[in-house]
Every structure is written in C-alpha cells, then in structure tokens.
Amino acid sequence: MKRYLPFIIVAVVAIATLGSGAMLYRAKVPHPLTIPEDKSLSGKGDAESMHIRGNANAPVTLEEFGDFQCPPCGSIAGFLDELVKEYDPHLRIVFRNYPLENHQHARDAALAAEAAGLQGRFWEMHDVLYREQAIWSKADNPRELFDSYAGMIGLNLDQFKKDMEGGKARARVDSDRERADSLGVQMTPTVFINDHEIGPTDKTPDGLRAAINAALKEKS
Amino acid sequence: MTVSRFRNILYIVVAIVSLAGLADAGYLTVQALTGETAACGGSPDCFRVLGSSYAKVARVPVAAFGLLAYFSVFSFATFAAFGYARARLFLTLTVGAMFLATLWFLYVQAFVLHAYCRYCLFSAAIIFLLAGLVIALPPSQDASDA
C-alpha cells in the first residue's frame, strides 16, 4: 500500500486542483449583459445627450463604458477609431464615462473630457487623454496637464477651467455612471454592440469586427 | 531526531507550502482564462502586471506555467518524502528554475512595469521559502531509488 500512497496523494491533489479550478472558472466567467429595450440606444440619434463618433444614424451602435485611467480602455480606444472609419457609415461609437474609484485621477479626466465637450471638442480631448494616459496617470497634479491638453486642442482655457469645476460636466459624468450602474456594468472597458455586451476575450479588433458584422447581418 | 526523519519532515513542509503556491497560481490562471485581467475593476497595479505582455508566453498565461511548476514541486516533494531519490533531484532543479524565473518577474515588476501585483509577490515569497527549504535539506546518503 505504501508503495502506491505517493501516487494516490498526487492524483488526489491533481483532481482537487482541476475540480476547484473548474468551479472557480464557472463562478468567475462573466455572463454577458443585455441592454433592455427601454434603455436601448439603437435607432436613437440624439446627439445632444451623448458623445457619438461616426454616423449618428448608423444601424450599428457600439456603446463603450470607459475610464480614461484604465490601460485596457486606452488599448481599445486606438482601434475603435479605425473601426468607425472602416465601417463608415454603418457604425457609430457612443462613449460613456465610468471612472473607477480606485483610479485616483479618472474622475478628473472624465470631467476634463466633458468640459472639452462643452466647447465641442470631446473626442479631441478623449484621444489626447488616452494617448497621454501613462503621463497624467502618474502626475501629482494632473489638472495642470489637462489644462495644457486643452490649450493643445484649441479650447478657451478660462472657460475650460470654469467648466471643469461647473455642474454641467459633473452632471454628465454622473448621468453616465448612473446608466452604467442601472445596466449592471462593473468593469472597464465594457462594450455593447446593439445592446449586447461583448465578452472580455472578444475586445480585440477581430473580435469586435466579428460582432459588428453579425449585428450588420441581423439588421439587413 | 535522525537526519533522514528531519529530511522527510522538510519534504512534507515543501509539499504543503507548494499547495499555497498552487492555489495562488490556479487563481491567477482562472483570472487570465476568464479575461478578467484584460479589464479594469480590481487593483490597477495588478492589471498593469497581469495585463502586460510579460504575463503571457506564446499566448499562454505565465500563471499556467506557475500552476504546472507548483504541481511538479508538490509531486516531487511527495515522492521524495517516500524515498524516491530521483524526485529529490527533480525537486531541486524545479525549485531552482522557479527561483530564477521569480527573480526575472520581480525585475520586470520593479524596473519595467513599475507596478507590483500582490498575487505575484505572494508567489515570489512562497518560492523564496521553497528555495530556503530545499537549501536546508541535509544531503542524502542514499542514492538509490526506492
């Protein structure tokens, strides 16, 4: 019996590891969210209340909940812009702020983007914030950098500073956050294509293309 | 206490300690497989480490290699405790390789990514402990296999 005991012990540990790993995987694997019809953006071209990139009346809507300090959001921002051009005029992107609490400067960055949006330059600030993410994320006072980005994209600096502190930008960030919470969003980037959440491993150029193509096929 | 008994106790301790590493690496492997490391929501530093290109080798999460390595350590320590002489050699080689890999990953976290993931640091602590235990093992007098 003693001769077989080490084999038995090792086999038991192997089975226990595989079993508990499978259970943990099942518990952790995300269940994709779906936006209910009453909250759906599909078919709504309301450019006043949301930031849209691409054709406002496009049949496919990609809604992203993003955090400017989140590195994966920065990674997908680059190719989302390319996808809009590639699928023009069939795709539009809607950006929603979801600044995570554990990202120290994320809320200020969201306010900067919204303040730029009040001067009609939301996407320009969005792009600069993601491009320069590694720099301002580690800065002690990122607001100084946001001011310099505002100057770079041609904003009225005094107005930008006022808007950063004002209620309008804050209200927009809060309303995006409320929408995210009501949909059950918990992490960034969370991406919906025509109301269906994209799985975490599909947030790649090829994964998103496949989802956009499927949505286009469904619409045609 | 005889030297041989002391050695066996150390092998059992190595096997038990490696189970903690097995759990840590298993958790990180599941996180990588579910795509959790490709999103923000938990610790930003952990994302910076686990979401970096250094966390995968040929698309396989490094944590999966860690899982395999800890399981090997557990198996070799168990067999060594039952007197299998070759298992002692494999145990030393595996822990040595893990120790070198840990030094590399600590360097990457400290000087390349400038971020530390607590799960990786826990794993590093376990490997240092395993290395210490393996060094503390008295040399074997019996070279024959059981």
Q: Please count the helices (runs of H) and the strands (runs of E) in chain A.
A: 9, 5
Classified as helix, coil or strand, A103 is coil
Report whether pLDDT(B47) > 80. Answer: no
CA distance B51 to chain A (A): 8
**8 Å CB contact between A67 and A98:** yes
Residue B95 within any structural domain of the chain: yes
Q: Is B40 on the interface with A (CB under 8 A)?
A: yes
Assess if residue B31 is contained within a domain.
yes
Domain annotation covers residue B143: no
How far, CA to CA in Å, does A83 sit from each of A66, A86, A212? 17, 5, 9
Give, in order, the Cα–Cα distances in Å from A72 to each of A34, A68, A101, A143, B51.
Answer: 22, 10, 16, 22, 8
B54 touches A: beta carbon within 8 Å: no
- Would B88 be classed as within a structural domain? yes
CB contact under 8 A, A72 and B47: yes
B28 has a chain A CB within 8 A of its CB: no
Using an 8 Å CB-CB cutoff, list chain A residues near B26: 17, 20-21, 24
**Is residue B86 one of the residues assigned to a domain?**
yes
Q: With CB atoms and an 8 Å threshold, state whether A187 touches B31.
A: no
Does the residue B80 lie in any domain?
yes
- Select from B19, B38, B82 the Cβ nearest to the Cβ of A6: B82
Mean pLDDT on B31-55: 78
ipTM of the complex: 0.86
Q: How far is CA A7 from CA A207, B109, B131, in A?
A: 43, 37, 24
Measure in Å the smallest separation between the Cα of A163 and chain B Cα atoms: 28
The Cα–Cα gap between B77 and B81 comes to 6
pLDDT band at A219 (very low <50, low <70, confident <90, very high): confident
Question: Which of A100, A103, A200 minimises the CB distance to B38?
Answer: A200
A79-98: average pLDDT: 94
B126 lies in some domain = yes
Out of A6, A13, A72, closest to residue B79 by CB: A6
Does position B144 have pLDDT exceeding 50, yes or no?
A: no
Instruction: List the CATH number of the domain containing B72.
Output: 1.20.1440.130
pLDDT for B43 beyond 70: no
Q: What's the total number of domains in chain B?
A: 1
- Check residue B145 and give its pLDDT: 44
Q: Which residue has the higher pLDDT, A130 or B35?
A: A130
* Residue B21 at interface with chain A, using a CB cutoff of 8 Å: no
Q: Are A35 and A192 in contact (CB under 8 A)?
A: yes
Asked if pLDDT for residue A114 goes beyond 50, the answer is: yes
Length of chain A: 220
Rounded to an integer, the average pLDDT of A153-180 is 94
What type of residue is A54?
Answer: G
Q: Residue A220's Cα: distance from chain center in Å?
A: 27
Q: Which domain holds residue B55?
A: 3-136
Q: Report whether A196 contacts A203 (CB < 8 A).
A: no
Residues A28, B31: Cα–Cα separation, whole Å? 8
Q: Determine, yes or no, domain membership for B142.
A: no
Q: Which chain B residue has its CA at the smallest distance from A14's CA?
A: B71
Task: Check CB contact of B76 with chain A, cutoff 8 Å.
Answer: no
DSSP string, B26-72: HHHHHHHHHTGGGSBSS-HHHHHHHTSGGGEETTEEHHHHHHHHHHH
Closest CA to A33 of A182, A187, A185: A185
- Predicted TM-score (pTM) above 0.80: no
